[in-house]
Chain A
């Protein structure tokens, strides 16, 4: 692989992928961001299929490469697609495993995350599980704000919610996790 490519920024690499279908440039993007994405899915409570979801996300990056606008941050584009992969996966699993007669769907075992209230009540549960047990909307704000350190405006763009909602979700998420830690 070209050493120069490994030092090229994400936007320039995506331009190469768009313009020249440059496989090496795409490989650099994959290597650079795969671990971050893997942990994004892992922190969502996925145990076994994280790498499949990472693969699906990069496949979408490739398929939708023409939609990427070089002025936007690549990570915004990446997390938009990762979030969509996650939503699609949840929908697929819920279709597959449904309780009888309209009861709430039980997640596939690979996606089993304890109920948020139970999670907080359970003293033996570790912080990672408490994080995974947060409602999706709260957990993703933590993921993007705490782990990826994205500005709230960017989180707002990825999650398609106002900045004020990002703030309130972050507050609620941290408050729930704090309560969990205090009960530990």
Chain B
């Protein structure tokens, strides 16, 4: 049986009415795939072929096998630059950094597509990987220098780092933040930083937020990241960052509800632990010059749970944001609890919900950024 046979079983008037509905449905406009969609799909499949080979060794092997496999390559680094690794607790911070360094591309960037992620986030993943390596700035100075060169090479004349839609805004904020955070070691990055801030200023909504959706006054996730980047840029003396920073902070404050929670959009009934944590961290740290803002951030942080609901799976983004928020309010024990769970999940290779965005690079970089060294 098919649709036509089904219709023929119905009373004639009913069948005619349904045929009219079907005709209308079939005349609805269809979407055309982007010109590069086939190429992106094939690249993702190519990446998948090699993915298991490129995964960090602790994902597929017991600790002692991974340690043995990496021992030769890591020995010099561990001996020269790092304290001894802890025993029996999965990959050490040094192993993560060594894997990130080994995964850097020849042009200095990191390619999420080669690790199960989306190529559109190459700038953001390069920035996060470089930030992670900056935890050992002497040991990875050359890697960081190459990463900064790759990021500035990606920047276009208008100050953007690339991507479209949401990728554009995450790339912009995370890359700007990384360049600002790394600038003490690279003063020559200031012109790139100024252009990046100029782009962010131009894209800010009248209400003070940022969003990739036309007509929106702001999206809390994207706004919290821009605020973080602008605060870091302002600290590095980029004067153009101050005004959009103040407007962004005001938007975040206005998006924090009475119970301390924050949703993607104002007026939404949803709550998100990730966004609440990101906003809390931004209000406490980026808003420290404005006395009324840190208490709002502290209130938001106090609404966070240490343990996510049982139904919530691995989410490195959420855990990273919560560690930042708990540490910003001085709650080390709560931060350690979240950090411990995050490390455990990466140790056992649990699938993270952001794998298809950032691949193994993302989980490794974010875990490295919160891991205690």
Contacts and interface: CB of A to CB of B under 8 A. Distances in A.
Do these two chains interact? yes
Contact of A98 (B17, B18, B42, B271): B271
Interface stretch (A2-10, A23-31, A76-84): A23-31
Interface residues of B, number: 50
Contacts of B22: 146, 174
Q: Is the interface of A mostly helix, strand, loop or mixed?
A: helix
Contacts of B2: 145, 149-152
Nearest to B257: A100
Contacts of A92: 353
B30 A35 contact: yes
A123 to B, nearest CB: 16
Interface in B230-271: 259, 261, 263-265, 268-271
Nearest to B116: A59
- Which residue among A23, A43, A92, A97 has the maximum number of chain B CB atoms within 10 Å of its CB? A97
B30 A58 contact: no
Given A128-B28, A163-B1, A170-B3, A52 B118 contact: yes
A108 B44 CA distance: 25
B45 A58 contact: yes
A174 B18 contact: yes
- Which residue among B20, B42, B118, B315 has the maximum number of chain A CB atoms within 10 Å of its CB? B42
B271 A100 contact: yes
Contact of B264 (A39, A43, A97): A97
A142 B25 contact: yes
Nearest to A167: B6
B13 to A, nearest CB: 11
Contacts of A48: 165-166, 213
B48 A100 contact: no
Interface string B263-304: 111001111101000000000000000000000000000000
A21 B353 CA distance: 28
Given A59-B48, A98-B309, A152 B1 contact: yes
Contacts of B309: 98
A55 B44 contact: yes
- Which residue among B28, B49, B213 has the maximum number of chain A CB atoms within 10 Å of its CB? B28
Nearest to A37: B33
Contacts of A51: 33-34, 37, 40
Interface string A64-108: 000000000000000000000000000010011111100101101
B42 A96 contact: no
A56 interface: yes
Nearest to B303: A100
Interface of B: 1-3, 6, 17-18, 20-22, 24-26, 28, 30-34, 37-38, 40-42, 44-46, 48-49, 118, 165-166, 213, 259, 261, 263-265, 268-272, 274, 309, 311-313, 315, 353, 356
